[in-house]
Structure 1
Amino acid sequence: MPKLYMLLALLFLTALAKGQYAVMGTVRDEKGEILPGATVFITGTKFITACDNNGNFSIGGLSAGSYAIAVKMMGFNPLATSVIISNKALNVVLRLTPDARTLKQVIIVGDNNWQDRYQIFRRYFLGTTPNAAECKIINPKILYFRFDKQSNILSATADDFLIIENNALGYRIKYLLNNFEYNEQTHLLKYDGYPSFQDLEPKSAKLLAYWQKNRKKAYNGSVTHFIKAVFQNKPYASGYELFKIINKPLPGEEPDPKKPVYFDRRPVVLDSLLTNDTEEGFKVFAFKDCLFVLNTKEQPSAEFANSSYKVEKPLNANLPNGQISVLHLLDSRVLIDANGNFKEPGALLFEGYMGWEQIADLVPLEFN
């Protein structure tokens, strides 16, 4: 069974605690004309609004910190920009550029294999966890697919928000898909986009309790949970054990026979991973080789044990049971913040449990 990997590129930058700060502004086109009705939201959260007739918007109830603001308007390219709020209110002008895609490009991605390609997309975008079985993409027909036979890459784009109902966690997600690629040869999954969350209305107290239980389970051991623990210098206190795998090649690469792969049994020293950054609110997360991450407070499910994402414990390592992930740093460093976000999309590649969980296991950044 082929191994699967996930290159995480969800653009999350936000401060979560509610406060008295606000971000406001105007959305315009490249000529300076206002764009009434444009959708503006804080990525990964429940904060979302629409511009008024003058192209103005305001999102309040925020705390000081780092945010990623995303804008969507039909006929224009989506925009996501990072801002830092340090005063009571931040005023910005967001400029959108026209969508330059042509009819020819639409014709290229449209074909008779749409349904087959949609099933592949759904499997890897939503995931194969138990929560994925309770998710439904409401408007799949807005998706366009293209398969490159030379590279064996299936790519997907969408003209508008994908609407996803997650009946396992109780969320309705509006997901602005920026890019999706799945390599059928290397089994490398890569996507990025901008999610916005809305709570579903529970029909009973029993259903609400079910959602709350599943949300907590999805959050614990997630990428966000792990990055937050690292930022706080508390991964070990949070139940994680960290080790290094030396000379492990990237997915799809052959190992160098002159550099044998081996597991370093010495726990990673936290000071070797983190340094303070000049940009307020962020720390530099950097490491060589690979990080072997064992979450001892959560056990792998039967579905994961039978999946292609499974990572085995090293022989004779005498490690406790738990959820295993392997992290590759594809850049020289990555900036992380206190809310479990990382700033550079695509900088981290995940094998194992963290690579297995996809959109179906995503919770808002407000969740803690």
Structure 2
Amino acid sequence: MKKGFILYCLFTFISIYSFSQTKISGKIISNENENIEGASVYLNNTTIGTITNSNGEFQLKAPKGNYTLVISFLGYKVEQIPITTSKIPISLNITLKQEDTLLNEVIVHKTKYDDEWKYNLIRFKETFLGRTSLAEQCVIQNPKTLHFEYNRKTNSLTAFAKEPLKIKHKGLGYLITYDLVHFEIKGKQLFFSGYARYENLKKSIKKKWKQNRLKAYNGSRMHFLRSLLAQNLKNEGFLINQFKRVLNPERPSEEKIKMAREFIRLHNKNINFSKRITTPKTPLDSALVTLRKSRLTKYKDYLYKRDVPYKDMIEYIENNPFLNFENYLSITYTKESEEDKYLIGMFGRRKKASGVQTSNIVLLEKKSQIENYGILLNPHSIFNEGYWAFESFANMLPLNYQPQKKQ
């Protein structure tokens, strides 16, 4: 049997997770009926987990709720099992299937650590870890486990990992093990998912780490969702507005822009691009005006509701909370200002400082269930813009993080 990459459960639940726990136990075997020792068994998006013993057995405890039990072992496909915990113990027998060898062969044998790979690694770090001051304090200790594929037709970059990433976060004081499941940059959009494990770098938490963790939490999506559930958004520093996004009527359609570009390409030698045109008199004038208007923003946002009431953001179905709203939400956190790197932007164009952190979110599904510790059951059900898009993985915290109450 292959030796696995052992992942340790590094935290115990505290505070709201300390009550009424359910015992979950079971046995993990391979499809050759061999006991799998060292498999990682944990509840997704929590820090509840353990590893299997020499008999392939595991045992853990979880508070009441709906979870996805994840079983991970190097060389085998990740298994995900939805479970609902209660007072009744849960016992499971799980068989892991071996991973397809084709992708592994591509990753192992085709990866060349040349200039192109180095460039893609920089792009990966800037998008996955982010560009914040905390991201600068993250070190991927095993970067050569990463393999990149670039598709010129779709302008997309995809990343794969042969083994879990080891990330030393000197800003927050964690050693993070991250199982990368999916990573893709497509145009200006980023999508990534995986499973994270957090370990304190030292037993005693430095004052600097406590301060940085609190700063990372304040204004975060986790902070917002917890405040939404507690219905204390204003006290926590959040202002919520609602807006619609529509096509800019002043900007020509994509079809007209394409036709104008083709027309100009055919007459390129005889065109005065600096010509001032008030009223187009010729087809060439019209094409130039269309091309100039193509620089306008494609969409316009129209604010139509300030201080959005809770009933327009959250819905309860069988006592389960769901994020549910129309159009877009603008979420402004008033107790911290933007970082300088956010104002500079990716292309060096400095924005005017507002003194607050503003993020936009849109639901990609009709509604999205919120877990009580401040995450969405399906993290891909919303799309972030603004400050939350700027704050990427380096600013994320383990779900059992609780800010210290002011004395």
User: Normalising by the residue count of structure 1, what TM-score does the alignment of the two structures yield?
Assistant: 0.83
- Alpha-carbon offset, residue 247 of structure 1: 2.1
Structure 1 position 287 matched with structure 2 position 288: no
Distance in 2 between residues matched to 1:192 and 1:284, nearest whole Å: 21
- Alpha-carbon offset, residue 68 of structure 1: 3.1
Distance in 2 between residues matched to 1:265 and 1:118, nearest whole Å: 42
The counterpart of 2:369, out of the listed 335, 340, 345, is 335
Structure 1 position 351 matched with structure 2 position 385: yes
The counterpart of 1:276, out of the listed 305, 312, 316, is 316
Where 1:346 maps in the other structure, the secondary structure is helix
Distance in 2 between residues matched to 1:258 and 1:124, nearest whole Å: 24
Where 2:77 maps in the other structure, the secondary structure is coil
Residue in 2 aligned with 1:5? none
- Alpha-carbon offset, residue 168 of structure 1: 0.4
- Alpha-carbon offset, residue 109 of structure 1: 5.8
Q: Which moved more, 1:189-198 or 1:51-60?
A: 51-60
Deviations 1:228-265 (A, max 9, x none): 2222233233221111121257xxx9899998531225
Q: Which moved more, 1:257-266 or 1:286-295?
A: 257-266
5 Å matches for 1:168-207? 168-183=171-186, 186-201=187-202
5 Å matches for 1:104-115? 105-106=106-107, 110-111=111-112, 112=114, 113-115=116-118
- Alpha-carbon offset, residue 104 of structure 1: 5.6
Q: Which moved more, 1:18-27 or 1:223-232?
A: 18-27
Residues 237, 335 of structure 2: 8 Å contact kept: yes
Residue in 1 aligned with 2:359? 325
Distance in 2 between residues matched to 1:49 and 1:190, nearest whole Å: 28
Residues 27, 56 of structure 2: 8 Å contact kept: yes
Q: 1:337 to 1:44 in 2, by over 3 A?
A: closer
Return 5+ residue gaps in structure 1 as ranges: 1-13, 314-319
Distance in 1 between residues matched to 2:130 and 2:298, nearest whole Å: 36
Residues 107, 162 of structure 2: 8 Å contact kept: no
Percent identical pairs in the alignment equals 25
The counterpart of 1:160, out of the listed 153, 158, 163, is 163
Residues 135, 166 of structure 1: 8 Å contact kept: yes
User: Normalising by the residue count of structure 2, what TM-score does the alignment of the two structures yield?
Assistant: 0.75
Residues 248, 289 of structure 1: 8 Å contact kept: no
Residues 344, 351 of structure 2: 8 Å contact kept: no
Deviations 1:342-368 (A, max 9, x none): 112311110111111112111111111
Amino acid at match of 1:304: Y
Distance in 2 between residues matched to 1:22 and 1:308, nearest whole Å: 48
Amino acid at match of 1:346: H
Where 2:191 maps in the other structure, the secondary structure is strand
Residue in 1 aligned with 2:242? 244
Structure 1 position 118 matched with structure 2 position 121: yes
Deviations 1:17-73 (A, max 9, x none): 23443322222335655322211223344433211122111123x322233332211
Structure with higher RCO (Cα < 8 A, 6+ apart): 1
Residue in 2 aligned with 1:73? 73
Residues 243, 292 of structure 1: 8 Å contact kept: yes
Residues 109, 145 of structure 1: 8 Å contact kept: no
Where 1:211 maps in the other structure, the secondary structure is helix
Q: 1:17 to 1:356 in 2, by over 3 A?
A: same
Where 2:306 maps in the other structure, the secondary structure is coil
Distance in 2 between residues matched to 1:311 and 1:90, nearest whole Å: 55
Distance in 2 between residues matched to 1:259 and 1:46, nearest whole Å: 41
Where 2:197 maps in the other structure, the secondary structure is strand
Residues 108, 146 of structure 1: 8 Å contact kept: no
Q: Which moved more, 1:88-97 or 1:67-76?
A: 88-97
Deviations 1:268-312 (A, max 9, x none): 12102221123x6x3121112111111112222222222249998
Where 1:190 maps in the other structure, the secondary structure is strand
Larger radius of gyration: 2
Where 1:300 maps in the other structure, the secondary structure is coil
Distance in 1 between residues matched to 2:108 and 2:171, nearest whole Å: 36
Return 5+ residue gaps in structure 2 as ranges: 1-12, 248-252, 255-293, 403-407
Distance in 1 between residues matched to 2:109 and 2:310, nearest whole Å: 49
- Alpha-carbon offset, residue 335 of structure 1: 0.8
Q: 1:58 to 1:84 in 2, by over 3 A?
A: same
Residue in 2 aligned with 1:51? 52
Where 1:244 maps in the other structure, the secondary structure is strand
Residues 248, 290 of structure 1: 8 Å contact kept: no
- Alpha-carbon offset, residue 161 of structure 1: 1.2
